[in-house]
């Protein structure tokens, strides 16, 4: 297995709107980020992934880009951005930018042109189809945000495709000129000195010829067309072309966001010799609490499912590809609230989940606030929510006859806004995020959970993350060791072994508040052992063949 800097990195994701506001307009900005770079350096991360900061009408908080080459005014200027890059590099950190090229905003110049006439030179940059004979949509695909994936365009009398909101028209990657424009844009940013890209829904860019109808479920008006646009027929050609024309000329990292991707497909995307991407974001492990009717249909996590899923990915990609490791991002509710205990055992839980993830094989991602043990929020009314997906689903579930109470319960558990409340810096008003009125309310628990408290407490979640990150830098086994699940059928403990050269790492995590007994499998022999991390005060124990775990306890041993 080849060594690489991006395999040894720990990435921190910034959602700029909610990170830090420097000018009291209630919206996070670039100068705010610059003011917190020392904080990130202290955490020990070495790469920052910045969610979109480009010009955008903000229908989907920047994931609807109207100009790829300029900075959103609310966030600052290109000069601010250049200062940010310089300050990041000055601290020996790297910056990867979000690349959103499955779609643009409908306010992008290309679309403004394209929609004016069928003869416009930009017309074919997007995906157009004639109405059916009765005037209805060309196929039955649903948008990922609800409703139809098609929008009628009066000027040309036909429909355009939008897999997300109608203000996010899908680009037509079959058009070579469009692809070249995108590559030129990517080079423009790379030449400015950035260190890579996170690629938004990049496995959606190739659609199956003919755009066939999806399978309609009973009682539904629209169907998922995902079978016809995930890992479509030309996806590998496009990514290899992108690699050849752009990425291969720079020393950068790439991570492709890929809803629905399987481990087998992920190997194709990330195998080194195929020259596509370095790693993908897969979604299996963040869908384990979805019921049969999807995300809003709540179901508790079954630990066995988590073991099965994460182990499958660890083993399948093994030496053939590379994994990304994440529990949180701007689209996911806080893992601490969904998969562990955000109440009585919040601190132990946050550290336990971090241990499980950071000791695995792959590149770990920390999402802002995760290192503080930030939790989900439960705003009382829908008017406090801002996310386009949440607002749409509220209407949809109401139309389906759900009660207000049921809807809000689902939203409290699953809304993307759980991850988007402002970063909790201190116990000051608005958590120190802004001196103005925040664009979305702060989680009321900020007086207890905030960075200032964490930094003042040596036992905090923050310092535990710092320690896990440092351990990764000091122990190659954490980066490169093989993974093997142990105690497969234990109902409460998730434990695994990493192996590298003559060393082994033993990771033990209790997922519940009981006191289960850990028993070391008999075939694991060693001469010496060293406790590398634990979320309780633990004495170096003479014998680890059998012991009782505390609620949500986690331990990491290095065995020799």
| In the block, residue with structure tokens 């990491």 | 556
Neighbour count for residue 212 (Cβ, 10 Å):
13
DSSP three-state, residue 346: helix
Report the site for ligand NOJ in 450-489 (rule: CB under 6 A): none
Indicate which single residue of 48, 100, 280, 325 sits in contact with ligand NOJ (rule: CB under 6 A): 100
Q: Rank residues 165 and 434 by Cβ distance to ligand NOJ and give the closer one.
A: 165
Whole-angstrom distance, CA of residue 170 vs CA of residue 163: 7
CB of 362 to ligand NOJ, least distance (A): 19
Q: 402 exposed, middle or buried (CB, 10 Å; 0-12, 13-18, 19+)?
A: middle
Q: Rank residues 101 and 509 by Cβ distance to ligand NOJ and give the closer one.
A: 101
DSSP H or E segment with residue 186: helix 176-191
Check residue 15 for interaction with ligand NOJ (CB under 6 A): no
Indicate which single residue of 21, 55, 59, 60 sits in contact with ligand NOJ (rule: CB under 6 A): 60
Check residue 63 for interaction with ligand NOJ (CB under 6 A): yes
Q: Rank residues 63 and 439 by Cβ distance to ligand NOJ and give the closer one.
A: 63
CB of 468 to ligand NOJ, least distance (A): 25
CB of 419 to ligand NOJ, least distance (A): 10
Q: Rank residues 15 and 446 by Cβ distance to ligand NOJ and give the closer one.
A: 15
Indicate which single residue of 201, 280, 286, 408 sits in contact with ligand NOJ (rule: CB under 6 A): 201
Buried b (16+ CB within 10 A) or exposed e, 155-164: ebebbbbbbb
- Which pairs with CB-CB distance under 8 Å and at least 24 residues apart come from 30-37? 30/71, 30/75, 30/76, 30/80, 30/81, 30/83, 30/84, 31/76, 31/80, 33/84, 34/80, 34/83, 34/84, 34/87, 37/87, 37/88, 37/91, 37/93
Report the site for ligand NOJ in 307-346 (rule: CB under 6 A): 330-331
In this chain, which residue has its C-beta nearest to ligand NOJ? 63
- Which pairs with CB-CB distance under 8 Å and at least 24 residues apart come from 441-446? 441/377, 441/379, 441/384, 443/374, 443/375, 443/377, 444/377, 445/375
Whole-angstrom distance, CA of residue 334 vs CA of residue 332: 6
CB of 168 to ligand NOJ, least distance (A): 6
CB of 330 to ligand NOJ, least distance (A): 6
Active site (annotated) includes residue 200: yes
Binding mask 161-200 for ligand NOJ (x = CB under 6 A): ---x-----------------------------------x
Check residue 93 for interaction with ligand NOJ (CB under 6 A): no
Q: Rank residues 36 and 103 by Cβ distance to ligand NOJ and give the closer one.
A: 103
Query: Of the listed 170, 195, 257, 371, which one is catalytic?
Result: 257
CB of 49 to ligand NOJ, least distance (A): 11
Query: Of the listed 55, 59, 151, 200, which one is catalytic?
Result: 200
H helices of 49-77, in order, are none
* Rg for the chain, CA atoms, rounded: 24
Q: Rank residues 172 and 355 by Cβ distance to ligand NOJ and give the closer one.
A: 172
Q: Rank residues 201 and 391 by Cβ distance to ligand NOJ and give the closer one.
A: 201
Q: Rank residues 200 and 341 by Cβ distance to ligand NOJ and give the closer one.
A: 200
CB of 200 to ligand NOJ, least distance (A): 5
CB 253 within 8 A of CB 6: yes
Buried b (16+ CB within 10 A) or exposed e, 75-109: bbeeebbeebbebbeeeebbbbbbbbbbbbbbbbe
| In the block, residue with structure tokens 């994701």 | 13
Report the site for ligand NOJ in 223-262 (rule: CB under 6 A): 257
Q: What sign for the dihedral angle of Cα 136, 138, 141, 145?
A: negative
CB of 534 to ligand NOJ, least distance (A): 34
Active site (annotated) includes residue 158: no
Report the site for ligand NOJ in 394-453 (rule: CB under 6 A): none
Residues with a catalytic annotation lie at 200, 257
**Which residues here bind ligand NOJ, judged by CB under 6 A?**
60, 63, 100, 164, 200-201, 257, 330-331
């Amino acid at each position: 297995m080849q060594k690489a800097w991006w395999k040894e990195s720990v990435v921190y994701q910034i959602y700029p709107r909610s990170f830090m506001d420097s000018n009291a307009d209630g919206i996070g900005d670039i100068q705010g980020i610059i003011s917190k770079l020392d904080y990130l350096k202290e955490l020990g991360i070495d790469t920052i992934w910045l969610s979109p900061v480009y010009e955008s009408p903000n229908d989907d908080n920047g994931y609807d880009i109207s100009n790829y080459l300029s900075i959103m005014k609310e966030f600052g200027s290109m000069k601010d951005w250049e200062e940010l890059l310089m300050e990041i590099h000055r601290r020996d950190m790297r910056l990867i930018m979000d690349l959103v090229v499955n779609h643009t905003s409908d306010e992008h110049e290309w679309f403004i042109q394209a929609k004016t006439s069928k003869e416009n030179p930009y017309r074919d940059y997007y995906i157009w189809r004639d109405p059916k004979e009765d005037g209805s949509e060309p196929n039955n695909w649903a948008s990922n945000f609800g409703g139809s994936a098609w929008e009628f365009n009066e000027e040309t009398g036909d429909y355009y495709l939008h897999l997300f909101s109608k203000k996010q028209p899908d680009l037509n990657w079959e058009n070579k000129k469009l692809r070249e424009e995108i590559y030129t844009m990517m080079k423009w940013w790379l030449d400015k000195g950035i260190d890579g890209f996170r690629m938004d829904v990049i496995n959606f860019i190739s659609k199956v010829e003919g755009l066939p109808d999806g399978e309609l479920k009973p009682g539904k008006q629209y169907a998922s067309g995902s079978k016809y646009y995930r890992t479509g027929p030309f996806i590998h050609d496009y990514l290899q072309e992108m690699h050849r024309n752009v990425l291969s000329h720079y020393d950068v990292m790439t991570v492709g966001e890929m809803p629905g991707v399987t481990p087998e497909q992920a190997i194709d995307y990330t195998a080194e010799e195929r020259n596509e991407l370095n790693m993908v974001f897969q979604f299996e492990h963040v869908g384990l609490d979805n019921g049969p009717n999807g995300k809003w249909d709540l179901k508790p996590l079954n630990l066995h499912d988590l073991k099965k899923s994460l182990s499958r990915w660890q083993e399948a990609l093994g030496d053939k590809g590379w994994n990304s490791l994440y529990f949180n991002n701007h689209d996911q509710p806080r893992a601490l609230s969904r998969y562990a205990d955000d109440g009585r055992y919040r601190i132990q839980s946050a550290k336990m989940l971090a241990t499980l993830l950071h000791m695995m094989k792959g590149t770990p991602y920390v999402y802002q606030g995760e290192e503080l043990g930030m939790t989900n929020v439960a705003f009382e009314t829908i008017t406090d929510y801002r996310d386009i997906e949440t607002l749409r689903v509220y209407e949809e579930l109401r139309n389906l006859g759900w009660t207000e109470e049921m809807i809000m319960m689902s939203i409290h558990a699953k809304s993307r806004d759980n991850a988007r409340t402002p970063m909790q810096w201190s116990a000051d008003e608005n958590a120190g995020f802004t001196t103005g009125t925040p664009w979305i309310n702060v989680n009321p628990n900020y007086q207890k959970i905030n960075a200032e408290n964490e930094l003042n407490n040596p036992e905090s979640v923050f310092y535990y993350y710092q320690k896990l990150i440092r351990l990764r830098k000091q122990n190659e086994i954490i980066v490169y060791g093989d993974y093997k699940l142990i105690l497969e059928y234990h109902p409460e403990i998730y434990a695994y072994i990493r192996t590298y050269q003559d060393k082994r790492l033993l990771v033990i995590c209790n997922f519940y508040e009981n006191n289960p007994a850990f028993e070391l499998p008999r075939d694991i022999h060693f001469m010496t052992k060293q406790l590398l991390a634990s979320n309780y005060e633990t004495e170096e124990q003479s014998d680890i063949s059998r012991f009782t775990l505390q609620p949500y306890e986690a331990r990491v041993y290095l065995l020799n």
